[in-house]
Amino acid sequence: MKTLVLAEKPSVAREIARVMGARDKHKSYMEGPKYIVTWALGHLVGLAEPEDYDKKYATWNLEDLPILPERTKLKVLKETNHQYKAVQQLMKRQDVGELVIATDAAREGELLARWIMQMAGWKKPFKRLWISSQTDKAIKDGFASLKPGSQFDRLYESARCRAEADWMIGLNVTRALTVRFNAQLSAGRVQTPTLGMIMDRENEINGFRSQEYETLTADLGGFQAVWRAAGGDSRIFNPQETQELKKRVDGRKGTIAQVKKSEKVEPHPLAYDLTELQRDANRKYGFSAKQTSNVLQRLYEQHKLVTYPRTDSRYLTSDMTATLKERLDSVAIGPYASLARPLLRKNLNITKRIVDDSKVTDHHAIIPTEQTVLLNQLNPEERKLYDLIVRRFISLFYPAAKYDSVAITVQVGTIPSMSKVQQ
């Protein structure tokens, strides 16, 4: 008997087929002695439309709302109907005894596979390939430790719940608004509150009124100091007050009233999740969020240099601990050698800021894979983003930064204090 492997898209299916020996190519699948590898094209099956429940819903009427079916139905999507039929035929082959879900290891990947299985009437055993990178090693290790499909039932149910909530809220509210106001209006479970947040922020910006202020700096010989009011604010909103203070400071000597020295400790930043990486890429290189996502996808899928990109966690899992040195070794080249090599000569300091199973849901943070990188094969965008990820990963294993913070308060005559902070 053969095992049918369902990937999320053709490019991933090709990689799995190559690694697992399915070399006989067909239009919609690849086949080998043990595995048949096919793919979805995103969602092949989706939730049925209102008119699929009752033809009267084809016309939008306010009195028909809300539309809340007791049990939701599925339908094959027209635009990818050809691929669904191909997958369905493979599922019905007599020599196929088991299915491996190899879609993206995330809620949406689980949902699209389960809906295909449900629509095709799959009743045979199935397992789950759960990997966070696309390297040959990751694929082989993943197939060597396939997980029972039932272990991911709750993940599927959470995805199904979200999809049905999107359908019920988006469809009903959109129809209600459109009919009520006779205009093409749209609403959604995520779209509407997000739009509300944007509008709140826009109103804050429009309502903001800037106010000019000045600061007063005095040259006290060996250093410069900034005037601060009793509450610590250095801004002076009255220009006349600035001039009066300046006259009282010019040519006067100051007396050091207080010197306060303290040691500051700044731990390493957490590993990247997608949002934090998008922020840093925008701040340093001007990348848009979409641009960062696209470049990151290439680093993950094409170059196989980073782990799964669409993650909201900034921590790693305990089962990854043994792989961290191998990952460090793979990036210890070129500009990173001097940073990574010293760490490889000793035991890594693994703390709760790095590994914490309780703070990882679908996927761990974005880190390099064990694949050795050839930097000259990356384009400038890929190189910049990879640089951010590698440097952040290496920094995880360095001790906290320590420095002294010195605050000096100087009294000049009878005016309020002037201060200098040196770090």
Which residues are catalytic, by number?
A: 308
Return the C-alpha torsion angle 365, 370, 373, 377, nearest 10.
Answer: -70
**Residue owning tokens 């509008």:** 199
**Integer Cα distance of 18 and 102 in angstroms:** 14
Phi, psi of 392 (to 5 degrees): -65, -40
Cα dihedral 29, 30, 36, 42, rounded to 10, equals: -40
Give strand pairing partners of 126: 99
**Which backbone phi and psi does 410 adopt, to 5 degrees?**
-115, 130
Cβ contacts of 99 within 8 Å, gap of 6 or more: 3, 4, 5, 6, 91, 117, 122, 124, 125, 126, 127, 149
**Do 394 and 335 contact (CB within 8 A), yes or no?**
no
Task: Give 215's contacts (C-beta < 8 A, 6+ positions apart).
Answer: 226, 227, 234, 235, 236
Widest pairwise Cα distance in the chain: 97
Residue 6, H or E segment? strand 2-7
- Element containing residue 192 per DSSP (H, E): helix 191-207
Q: Dihedral (C-alpha) 30, 38, 76, 154: value to the nearest 10 degrees? A: 170
Structure tokens at 82: 């050809």
